[in-house]
Chains A and B, each alone.
Chain A
Amino acid sequence: MEGLRWRTIGAAAGIVLAIVWFAPNMINVGSWWPSKQKMNYGLDIQGGLHLVMGVDVDGVVKESTTRLMASIKADTAKENVGVTDIKSEKPESGELTLHFAAGDKAKVQKYMSEKHPADLQEVGSTDSSLTYRYFDAYMNEYKNKVIQQAIETIRNRIDEFGVAEPSISQQGTNRILVQLPGMADAEKAKQLINTTAKLDFMIVSNEKTPTELMAMIAEVEKAGGYKLEGMKYSDYVTRINNDLKGKLPEKTAVYFEKSGNAATMEAGAVPYLLKTDTDLTGSALDDATVGYDQYGAPMVSLRFNSAGAAKFADLTGNNSGKQMAIVLDKIIKSAPSIRERIGGGSATITLGGGRDRNQMMDEAKMISTALRAGSLPATLEQLEERRVGATLGQDAIAKAKLGAYIGAALIILFMLMYYKGMGVVVTVALGVNVLAVLALLTSFGATLTLPGIAAIALTVGFAVDANVLINERIKEELFAGHSLKVAIKEGYNRAMSAIIDSNVTTGATAVVLLYFGTGPVRGFAVNLLIGIVTTLFANVFFSKVIVDQLVYKFNVKKLSI
């Protein structure tokens, strides 16, 4: 039989690989074991919270357009451009129309092309009006930024909640999917996610040095017997400030900054003493963007609205030389130094040097995202919530397993009784098939969901289907008077075309499901696809190797079938 040795080696290698991948699910493998990944269970099995939040992107764009209109109005008035009025019919698409006296068109056009060359394009005009709209690329980037900042805000909150392995990801153009496995207190998590981000600008007090602060914090921590680790960040901050009351100067509080390369807050919390009597919040800020200084180094540009500009000018005037902390939800994102009084409502934050450009760029993006999250918070709306208690998942998986085991047992019994010798081969192949399905699921890091378990049980059914096709074909060939060797060869060969066809169609439906499905349904589709591959391996390729081995190596003359 051609290539039997190689096929045997291939089959053995496949099984060894499957065992290597699958083993970590069953036993505690040593550090020398090549694969350590375990099976992921879906939220429907392990319990947890699945939220889909809608981000009101249009609302943010609308608000941004309104602010832009106000600022253009103020600027054109100051520079005497002759704009009489600015209106917008569709602020959510970033469209605005400038009205002016009939002769001023060229002047207004010149002003706009000088001041807004990259963000606004002219889309229509009459003698006394000009209509502008954001460039599509600018608009898309803007919308994407809104989503990213909403994701950042949610991540900020979830991090503080201390959920193991949260998953926060963008879905479509205006959705965010939040998955919190094993989350017991869903209400609290929902509340946290739903609160709007709070941005504060606070002056750093020099009355205590960081070293002094650290010593004081360590002292009260020791006295109170608590640590940031294992606590919610906001609770910790409240507790620390309560305990330090009296020891700190009046109207100050301690907040923390997460140091640059620390993975967790616990590992990299740097304390700052902040003055609490500065009343400058996110509502004072119009926008924040990443820009470049004259040497091409990244920096953050801030633009305050008119009310904010005056306050900001005062604050910077009174505190030059000091640091101003940018605080989002009580976490210090950055604390740049104030060089001089900043009037006019525009400021820039230059970043400390000594690092490579990418790191600086990342920091600039992080700061501008934090600033925007606090100044133009996107409203989040809950669109879908699925919450599964841990006990339900356990019950469900136990029942599904029971059903799958009984089904498999009945089928095996039937195969053994009906096909006898070949039935044993089929049973062994089925076992290998299920092992291979679980191994592949594990190695892909795919998630096992309840519908996925149904799909695995069906895989067993489909796999038997393939074997019945083969065995019935072998029987037919035997009846037709062929020798066992010929019958087996023909049986496998001729059944192949039907097996391939049927698997291709099942595969096609699985791919469609994968594309259109969400959550558990995708799990179902992935399992079906994996099932097709393993069926071909175990019940066609591997079972043929066994049969060929029996017939050619061990010279079995008669195989009961």
Chain B
Amino acid sequence: MANNNTKNTATESSGKYDFIGKVNIFTGISVLLVVASLIYLGVKGINYGIDFKGGTEFQVKFDKGVSIDQVRHSVDELKLGEVGVQSFGDNNEFIIRFQGKQGATDKETNEILNQDISKIKDIILTTFKDHNPDIRRVDTVGPQVGAELKRNGLLAVFYCLLVILIYVALRFDYKYAPGAVFCLFHDAVITLAIFVAVGKEVNVPILAAILTLIGYSLNDTIVVFDRIRETDAHYHDKGYGFIINKAINDMLHRTLMTSGTVFTSALCLWLFSGGTVGDIAFAICVGIVFGTYSSIYVAAPVVLMMDKIMGKKTAA
């Protein structure tokens, strides 16, 4: 293959950058990243939020300086098991998170959860009476619902990948499909790993963001595939390495431009909006970086590999 490639580039340039020549290095990097992410997720575990795990989350705002230790201390007094307190935005706003003790049955767990909620509420309203406490949000998810949301979430990811696999196989060629799906897997796993690494929790909206990302990452990949197909039609006497390299080079400018614009809008959302919207935007920001990388260095090489495996393209 390498011989074939050099022979062709001698007569006509396949583009400014030799992506395919360095394909081994980047394949190595990609595989390493995915493996590292999988190991990391396996060891650390996904940091499920209350949507999936069940539990309660309070968001409380005080009108003047209350320290995180004060909040933690007063909540710890209740001995509700592990309670997480996190400051949010400026220092007057906190998120209190706890899972509640397990009862013998789901019903009991629900009851314990409900009692704990009113205990926390009471203690916040009495202890910090002078600080004008405002309980701005309370989310409680019972254990059954959590398990169900998790199952539905995983099913959603599975069906997304399936639908995309079928679409790509029908629309392009079966040899493109594995590249697209590997790409999506690559992007989703790495994004999830980074998301967990920065200590953010995975909730339903984040899952939605990752699914959207799968869709978007595919946009990029498909644009490259589209171009490969077109280039193939023009240069079908050249080797596949040449064709892919030329297609990527031709599309490079556009790929960076479009990713750049989506990245910009996601970045602004991330920087300026907090909470759910901010987290969604963060996931998309990270995902776009890897999605762009993968459409250049992951998708096309897999297509090349599939081509090799399924028999070298014969010169017309």
Contacts and interface: CB of A to CB of B under 8 A. Distances in A.
Interface of A: 44, 52, 54, 186, 381-389, 391-392, 396, 399-400, 402-404, 406-408, 410-411, 414, 450-451, 453-455, 457-458, 460-462, 464-465, 468-469, 472, 476, 497-498, 501-502, 504-506, 508-510, 512-513, 515-518, 520-521, 524-525, 528
Contacts of A472: 253-254, 257
A453 B278 CA distance: 11
B92 interface: no
Given A388-B136, A501-B226, A411 B253 contact: no
B139 A509 contact: no
Contacts of B215: 505-506, 508-510
A411 B205 contact: no
A188 to B, nearest CB: 13
Contacts, number: 217
A477 to B, nearest CB: 13
A495 to B, nearest CB: 9
Interface stretch (B29-37, B152-160, B193-201): B152-160
Of listed B152, B208, B218, B268, residue having the most chain A CB within 10 A: B208
Given A509-B215, A518-B149, A411 B271 contact: no
B222 A387 contact: no
B160 A508 contact: yes
A381 to B, nearest CB: 6
A517 B208 contact: yes
Interface in B236-284: 250, 253-254, 257-258, 261-277, 280-281, 284
Contacts of A414: 261, 264
Given A468-B257, A508-B167, A509-B214, A403 B142 contact: no
B142 A383 contact: yes
Contact of B262 (A451, A458, A524): A458
Contacts of B274: 396, 399
Contact of B167 (A383, A461, A505, A518): A505
B169 interface: no
27 contacts: A52-B145, A54-B142, A383-B141, A386-B138, A387-B138, A387-B139, A388-B136, A389-B134, A391-B136, A392-B59, A399-B275, A404-B268, A407-B268, A457-B266, A458-B265, A458-B266, A461-B264, A464-B262, A469-B223, A501-B219, A502-B219, A506-B215, A508-B215, A509-B163, A510-B212, A516-B159, A517-B156
A461 B270 CA distance: 14
A469 B254 contact: yes
| Dominant secondary structure of chain A at its interface with chain B | helix
- 10 closest A-B pairs by beta carbon, nearest first, are A407-B268, A502-B219, A403-B272, A461-B262, A407-B265, A509-B215, A392-B136, A516-B156, A506-B215, A383-B142
Interface string B106-136: 0100100010000000000000000000111
B205 A402 contact: no
B274 to A, nearest CB: 6
